[in-house]
Amino acid sequence: MNQIPKISHQTIAAYLRDELDTSEERRVLEAQKDDPINNLLFKVIRKLKNNIDFQKLSVPEDIRMTFEEIEDVLMEILAGQLHERPVQKFAYGLLHSAEFYDRLLLKLSQIGSLMVPRKTPELAKIEIKENDEILINAGILKAVPEQPQEIERISQNGKPGIAKGLKWLFKPQNGFPKPALIMGGVTLAILVGLIFYFNFIQTVTYRYYIYDDKIPYEINSAELRDVEKEATKDTILYQFVNIFNSALGSYRVMEYKEAIKTLEPLDSIAQELLSKSTNDNTLLIIRNYYFYLGLSHLALSQKQVFSDEEKSGHLNKAIRYLSRADSIALGNNLANNDREIYFLGLAYDFAGNIDLAIAQFHKIKPESEFYKDSRKLIRESGK
């Protein structure tokens, strides 16, 4: 049986926006006929399109969704229960994020596999009777009522009942411990090892930061809007802010590569704006630009799919851009600079520059949201 090809995210996005021509749309709709996953996908899409105008879909306040949230909203959509806020997040992710689309297909594949009817082989339906039962039915053999076994009696394999079980288990057999005792000991050792392992993992998981299901730092949309009010139309700063906001949309849905692709070309403009401005709001915009650019590289540096060389390249860039954000915040006495201090320390830590990392973590004050994690990292370093 040939595998039905996956419909690309680009095609799905165009379909949601009603941008496909008639032949393309017919081809896409044909793909759902013989495939339960595509069938479910378009069932979801039809319900969304009946309730949402994808051409006018606005960016939600928080568009990040975990796999569990995707699953919950998906179940609600399939059940016809469309709640505005979570469904808007779901729709935005489906429209803009290829990674979100892949996660959705994964969940649909799990549901689809359960919906395929499993045929019971005809032979499996035939009940074959035991020889004794056949003889009894023929009147050749007389049925004997089944007698209840006493708990203490020896069972058919020669092992005692519950009361003598432990005594039997620990009594050597031919001078050696019984196999059941050996297996019990091995099982107990494995269980103890697993308990120790998971307790150990819980104490060190703060060192293993993977940003596939979460962004490194939440965006404060209200703070960004207040700052950006100063950007007048038809100015370089206004255009810079618009592009920056577009990149933040990618960052929000963990599309870090797309965010970097949009942000990095703005570096020279950011430096020019920085050199010419003493306005606090402009400084805050440039500081945020370098901060989120640095975080996007930091997130990619922890992607397991990359080579060590690629991870190192992203770490170096994360350190470069987070250092710039830190310098701008520190040099201009901007508030909330502990976030730059913390993430720069984290980048140093990932890069193996422990002394520089610890120096950063020591700068974080007790009232900071990053204080607790910083102290853990310092304690683990032993310095």
Indicate which CATH number applies to the domain containing 366: 1.25.40.10
275 plus 377 within the same structural domain: yes
The answer as to whether 229 is a domain residue is yes
Question: Average pLDDT for residues 349-365, to the nearest whole number?
Answer: 92
261 plus 369 within the same structural domain: yes
Range name among 141-150, 199-208, 309-318 with the lowest pLDDT average: 199-208
Residue 89 CA to residue 47 CA, distance in Å, equals 15
Of the two residues 49 and 79, the one the predictor is more confident about is: 49
Beta-carbon-side half-sphere exposure of residue 37 (alpha carbons within 13 Å): 16
Distance of CA 243 to the CA centre of its chain: 27
Distance of CA 90 to the CA centre of its chain: 15
The answer as to whether 159 is a domain residue is no
281 plus 200 within the same structural domain: no
The answer as to whether 212 is a domain residue is no
80 plus 201 within the same structural domain: no
Is the pLDDT reported for residue 10 higher than 50? yes
183 plus 267 within the same structural domain: no
Question: Average pLDDT for residues 172-185, to the nearest whole number?
Answer: 55
253 plus 376 within the same structural domain: yes
Q: Determine the pLDDT at residue 201.
A: 36
The answer as to whether 144 is a domain residue is no
The answer as to whether 165 is a domain residue is no
Q: Compute φ and ψ for 194, nearest 5 degrees.
A: -65, -40
371 plus 295 within the same structural domain: yes
Q: Determine the pLDDT at residue 229.
A: 66
Q: Determine the pLDDT at residue 346.
A: 94
Beta bridge partners of 173: 176
pLDDT digits (tens, 9 = 90+) for 111-162: 654 444 444 444 444 444 555 555 455 554 555 555 444 434 434 444 444 4
181 plus 228 within the same structural domain: no
What total number of domains does the chain contain?
A: 3
Which residue matches tokens 């896409």? 28
Question: Average pLDDT for residues 232-245, to the nearest whole number?
Answer: 82
Burial string for 146-171 (b: 16+ CB within 10 Å, else e) reads eeeeeeeeeeeeeebeeeeeeebeee
188 plus 272 within the same structural domain: no
21 plus 98 within the same structural domain: yes
Structural contact between residues 287 and 325, judged by C-beta atoms closer than 8 angstroms: yes
3-state SS assignment for residue 125: helix
Q: Which of 100, 115, 130 is the last residue of a domain?
A: 115
258 plus 188 within the same structural domain: no
Distance of CA 60 to the CA centre of its chain: 19
Of the two residues 136 and 54, the one the predictor is more confident about is: 54
The answer as to whether 128 is a domain residue is no
Q: Determine the pLDDT at residue 126.
A: 46
Q: Determine the pLDDT at residue 2.
A: 43
SS (H, E, C) 193-226: HHHHHHHHHHHHHHHCCCCCCCCCCCCCHHHHHH
Structural contact between residues 323 and 344, judged by C-beta atoms closer than 8 angstroms: yes
- Single out the residue of 361, 367, 366, 354 nearest to residue 340, CA to CA: 361
pLDDT digits (tens, 9 = 90+) for 254-290: 899 999 999 999 999 999 999 887 788 889 999 999 9
The answer as to whether 143 is a domain residue is no
* pTM over the 0.95 mark: no
Most confident by average pLDDT, 45-49, 71-75, 237-241, 324-328:
324-328
Give the confidence band of 315 by pLDDT, cuts at 50, 70, 90: very high
The answer as to whether 148 is a domain residue is no
The range of the structural domain enclosing residue 357 comes to 221-381
Lookup: tokens for 107: 């969940």
Residue 235 CA to residue 251 CA, distance in Å, equals 25
Q: Determine the pLDDT at residue 296.
A: 96
Which residues have C-beta within 8 Å of that of residue 372, sequence separation ≥ 6? none
Give the confidence band of 39 by pLDDT, cuts at 50, 70, 90: confident
Q: What rounded mean pLDDT belongs to the chain?
A: 75
Q: Determine the pLDDT at residue 366.
A: 93
Helices 98-115 and 67-78, axial angle in degrees (round to 10): 60
360 plus 254 within the same structural domain: yes
Residue 201 CA to residue 249 CA, distance in Å, equals 33
Question: Average pLDDT for residues 199-219, to the nearest whole number?
Answer: 59
Give the confidence band of 204 by pLDDT, cuts at 50, 70, 90: very low
Q: Determine the pLDDT at residue 285.
A: 92
